[in-house]
Amino acid sequence: MKILVVNGVNLNMLGQREPEIYGTETLKDIEESVKKHCNNKGIDVDFYQSNVEGELVDCILYEKDRYDGIIANFGAYSHYSLALHDCLSMLKIPVIEVHLSNVHAREEYRHKLLTGSVSKGIICGFGSYGYIMAVNAMENTLNG
Active-site option among 22, 67, 77, 131: 22
As a dihedral over the C-alpha atoms of residue 131, residue 134, residue 138, residue 140, rounded to 10 degrees, the angle is 130
What's the number of CA atoms in the CB half-sphere (13 Å) around residue 144?
0
Active-site hit among 67, 77, 85, 99: 99
Q: Of 50 and 78, which has the nearer Cβ to ligand DQA? A: 78
Considering only residues 17 through 76, tell me which ones interact with ligand DQA, judged by CB under 6 A: 73, 75-76
**Residue 10 contacts residue 76 (beta carbons within 8 Å):** yes
Let me know if 22 is a catalytic residue. yes
**What minimum distance in Å lies between the beta carbon of 144 and ligand DQA?**
28
Residue in 35, 37, 64, 110 binding ligand DQA, rule: CB under 6 A: 110
* Minimum gap (Å) between residue 140 Cβ and ligand DQA: 22
Instruction: Report the 10 Å Cβ neighbour count for 117.
Output: 13
CA dihedral 96, 97, 98, 99 (to 10 degrees): -170
* Nearest-5° Cα angle at 102, 96 to 103: 85
The answer to whether 111 is a known catalytic residue is no
Q: How far is the CB of 7 from ligand DQA (least distance, A)?
A: 9
In the complex, what is the shortest distance from the CB of residue 65 to ligand DQA, in angstroms, rounded to a whole number? Answer: 26
Instruction: Tell me the C-alpha distance between 56 and 8, whole Å.
Output: 7
Binding residues among 90-109 for ligand DQA as defined by CB under 6 A: 99-101, 103
Short-list 60, 67, 32, 21, CA closest to 10: 21
- Is 10 an interacting residue with respect to ligand DQA (CB under 6 A)? yes
Residues at the site binding ligand DQA, with contacts judged by CB under 6 A: 10, 73, 75-76, 78, 99-101, 103, 110
Would you name the residues annotated as active-site residues? 22, 99
